[in-house]
Amino acid sequence: MPRFRRLPALESDELLAESAIAMCIGDVIRPGHFFAVPTLDLEWLESADEEIYWEIFRGQVLDRTQTRHRQRFQSWSIWDRTPGLPIDEPLLSVKWDRQVRQLFVTRSVACHAWESFDDELGNIQARQATRRVRELVGAIELNQFKTKAELRDELIALLFLAVVGTSRLPLTSVEAPLPGFILGELGYCYRDDAGDAPIRDAAEWIDRSLNPGIALVERSRLLELALRNRREPSGQELGLRFLRRCRAVGGSTADFLESLQAVFNNASLSPYLGMVGTTISFLQRAVMQSELRAADEIDFLTHLLRQICRHLTAFDLIRFHHLGANYPDALLIDEVLRRLCALIEHDPALVLAKSGDDPMVNHRKRLRRRGLRAGWLLAGQYRGYRVPDVPTTPGENARVWPIAIPRLDDEQILNPTLRTRRLFEGDWIGDLAGPNGRAAFRESVTDLIEFAEQCELGTALFLDRPFGIGKHPAEPDRTLLISCTAFSRQIALQRLELIGRLSQESGDASNLDSFAERCKETGFVRGVARSPARANQRVGVVSFDDALLAADDFVFLRTTRSSLREFLSWYDVDQLPVDGFRDLFTPGQCLILRSAIEPAAVQILDADWQLRLVIRPDLSRGYVSRAGVEHPVEGLVGDGIRLRPKLN
């Protein structure tokens, strides 16, 4: 079965006895697995019996202000005693209910919240208070685990997620990282040689934690923590240390760049505290010291812009980000474009085509120009839009931070007319780009003669959790996250029009009529149109239904290779009949799409978008969690087939 971590082989067959559970919990939560800066005052309390207010409602744990139920646990907890923060709940905790054989991993976040109280006349009133809000990261049914290794792996995964957040697209509080992680002050990484004290030095943390046995998501979060560091050594120095350590343990430059890309695929950039600037400075320094090539730097920056463009095509900055109140993506685009323009002025050969380039070099340069064009398009699209003084969300604005992070009035978040800051002031192409940058933009417009470049103008990346259909509305969902590309002709045409305006502003008017006519042709891009019979009812969960909010003409193209790879790692399709199914799950040609008619049905379509298989989650025994991911215990069922998750 897939595991979060590779654990010692000697433990793989050791059965899970009652006596081993406490040892397992104590091992994974010991202080040596944590990084904590010296100013973070943490206290570990192990194996304490406690009776607390406790109730779980639709997958969320209620705190003492919301329930009168009490329950007894044996708990292992980490308390944050940092001055100025409330201490009414542990920062992290593993709770064992012996009676029902369940474990719970919880965390808490200090917030400005409302609490009820009885006044002198016995009336129930409400008042604002600063307190810790308890959140359930995950629950473990011990009867579903056979060996000690399985339980340890699951606990490691849940404690890791408790620190970094449970989703790469955080829509709810528990999906976002703890404030300590966002500030570069707190990390978790299980190690066999962990001691009885947390590691306080960031450089030592990298050296001790980065080894071949950790998962890609751990590696990327370790690098993210280094880049978020606001103390000595600087994030730039820690980035270089990470790169060198990566090579020392057998990794390559490609492995490092994969980790760096994963950082920005997973990172929550709000509050905007300088990680993007640190990353840009680190890359510049790495190139100067010959640790990376200039081509590596420009490839990463343009890849980042392409990914951001696909994300914002799906989840528009205004419609999906609290009317633009949460705009770290725009700040990232601004910083990356400035560095990219400087690189192009210094070494235009990295981007501009020249005679004699072989097809592979031409392709790389075209991808770089595509990223440049994507950044300029987004800057032009959102130029002048009013935003709050700093990017934030209502939930984030309610958090209590240990450093001075501005807390905004709700009016700034909810009412754009009361905002004074504007995005992308100035003309990027005319004022901020040099002659080589403007030449690169002109070439990026010429590139639109290519079918793939026209398609990219309207390509978005949507996310869905199709196997979480059995969850209640607003219940946390950690089932498989499936990502798919989709295309909107409407958005592509809007961007062609925008390119025309940007070209005119820069004095380089381009005739894009022929491109627009081609885009309007019937069958320009083939795919699967999806019009759900009813809107998604699961609040706080990403869904392919979100495409209707972005544009009403999206057609879905392919499931991403990474999503298909993860699906195949959990479900053995070799169980399927040879005829008609084995070739179905081909990377780059398969489409996994939740049915628009029957929400519980998941359709599998082939390279020609022909429906080949329909499967549904069997929810007769609920869900089980492995490596931090939830699966239907009985797997997925279709017409005469059953795909069981690899649990053992």
Closest CA relative to residue 168, chosen from 214, 109, 224: 224
Higher pLDDT, residue 523 or 226: 226
Helix axes 235-248, 253-266, angle to 10 degrees: 130
Alpha-carbon span 158 to 166, nearest angstrom: 8
pTM for this prediction:
0.93
Same-domain check for residues 281 and 303 = no
SS (H, E, C) 580-618: HHCCCCCCCCCEEEECCCCCCCEEEECCCCCEEEEEEEC
Mean pLDDT for 241-260 is: 95
Q: pLDDT class for 9, splitting at 50, 70, 90? A: low
- Whether residues 402 and 267 share a domain: the answer is no
Considering the domain architecture, whether residues 352 and 265 belong to the same structural domain is answered as: no
User: pLDDT at position 125, please?
Assistant: 83
Q: Which of 149, 169, 189 is the last residue of a domain?
A: 169
Q: What phi and psi, each to the nearest 5 degrees, are found at residue 592?
A: -105, 115
Which residues lie closer than 8 Å to 404 by C-beta, 6 or more apart? none
pLDDT top residue among 640 and 28: 28
Look at 91-95, 256-260, 281-285, 357-361 and tell me which has the smallest mean pLDDT. 357-361
- What is the maximum alpha-carbon separation in the chain? 87
Q: What domain range is 587 assigned to?
A: 464-486+527-643
Residue 463 has pLDDT above 60, yes or no: yes
Q: What is the distance of C-alpha 103 from the center of its chain? A: 26
Query: What is the spatial distance between Cα 176 and Cα 190, in angstroms, rounded to a whole number?
Result: 20
Tell whether 496 is covered by a domain.
no
Q: Is 505 inside any structural domain?
A: no
pLDDT of 580 above 80:
no
Q: Provide the pLDDT for residue 509.
A: 61
Which residue among 273, 292, 311 closes a domain?
292
Indicate if the pLDDT at residue 205 is higher than 90. yes
| Averaged pLDDT for residues 415-427 | 89
Tell me, yes or no, whether 264 and 310 share the same domain.
no
Q: Which distant-in-sequence residues (6+ apart) come within 8 Å of 148 by Cβ?
A: 11, 14, 15, 16, 17, 20, 24
Task: Write down which residue in 449, 476, 510 finishes a domain.
Answer: 449
pLDDT at 214 exceeding the cut of 60: yes
Which is more confident, 257 or 576? Answer: 257
| Helix boundaries (H) for 233-392 | 235-248, 253-266, 275-288, 294-314, 328-346, 359-382
Provide the pLDDT for residue 124. 82
Most confident range, picked from 295-309, 524-538, 575-589: 295-309
| Residue given tokens 């980035």 in the structure block | 239
Q: Which of 207-216, 464-473, 575-584 has the lowest mean pLDDT?
A: 575-584
Same domain assignment for residues 301 and 283: no
Is pLDDT at 598 greater than 70 in this prediction?
A: yes
| Residue 615, pLDDT above cutoff 50 | yes
Please give the Cα distance from 273 to 131 (Å, whole number): 24
In this structure, of 201-215, 256-270, 345-359, 512-526, the range with the lowest mean pLDDT score is 512-526
Residue 342 has pLDDT above 70, yes or no: yes
Contacts 24+ apart (CB under 8 A), 409-418: 412/325, 412/388, 413/322, 413/325, 413/388, 414/322, 414/323, 414/325, 416/323, 416/324, 416/385, 416/386, 416/387, 417/386
Distances (CA, A) of 335 to 266, 296, 498: 19, 18, 21
Do 578 and 479 belong together in one domain? yes
331 and 398 in one domain?
yes
Least Cα distance to 370 among 501, 562, 499 occurs for: 499
Contacts of 497 (CB under 8 A, 6+ apart): 512, 516
Separation CA 343–CA 436 (nearest Å): 10
Q: Do 250 and 305 share a domain, yes or no? A: no
**Minimal CA–CA distance to 243: which of 225, 266, 261, 259?**
259
* Mean pLDDT of the residues in the chain: 90
| Residue 448: closest CA among 408, 499, 488 | 499
Phi and psi of 643, rounded to 5°?
Answer: -105, 110
Mean pLDDT of all residues in 311-325: 93
Lowest mean per-residue pLDDT among 59-63, 173-177, 488-492: 59-63
Nearest-CA neighbor of 84 among 41, 37, 133? 41
Contact 327, 391 (CB under 8 A): yes
Query: What residue type is assigned to position 174 of the chain?
Result: V
pLDDT > 70? residue 10: no
**Quick one: pLDDT band at residue 1, thresholds 50, 70, 90?**
low
Asked whether residue 328 falls in the same domain as residue 411, the answer is yes
Domain check: are 420 and 309 in the same one?
Answer: yes
Task: Please give the distance of CA 558 from its chain centroid, rounded to a whole number.
Answer: 20
Per-residue pLDDT tens digits for 97-111: 999 999 999 999 999
Split into its structural domains, the chain has a count of: 4
Is the pLDDT at 174 greater than 50? The verdict is yes
pLDDT for residue 578: 64
Query: Using CA atoms, how far apart are residues 405 and 392, in angstroms rounded to an integer?
Result: 10
Percentage of residues of the chain with pLDDT beyond 90: 67
Q: What is the mean pLDDT of residues 194-200?
A: 94
pLDDT band at 574 (very low <50, low <70, confident <90, very high): confident
Least confident of 193-207, 352-366, 574-588: 574-588
> Would 498 be classed as within a structural domain?
no
Q: Is residue 576 within 8 Å of residue 635, measured between CB atoms?
A: no
261/317 same-domain check:
no
Q: What is the DSSP string of 200-249?
A: --HHHHHHHH-STTS-HHHHHHHHHHHHH--SSSPHHHHHHHHHHHHHHT
Q: How far apart are CA 245 and CA 396, in angstroms?
A: 34
CB contact burial 150-189 (16+ within 10 A = b; e otherwise): bbbbbbbbbbbbbbbbbbbbbebbbbbbbbbbbbbbbbbb
Residue 183 lies in a domain: no
503: in domain? no
| 78 vs 193, more confident | 78
C-alpha dist (Å) from residue 213 to 32, 192, 219, 394: 17, 11, 10, 38
Do 287 and 299 reside in the same domain of the chain?
Answer: no
DSSP 8-state secondary structure symbol assigned to residue 530: -
Residues in the chain: 648
The rounded distance, in Å, linking the Cα atoms of 383 and 114 is 37
Q: In the prediction, which pLDDT does 523 show?
A: 84
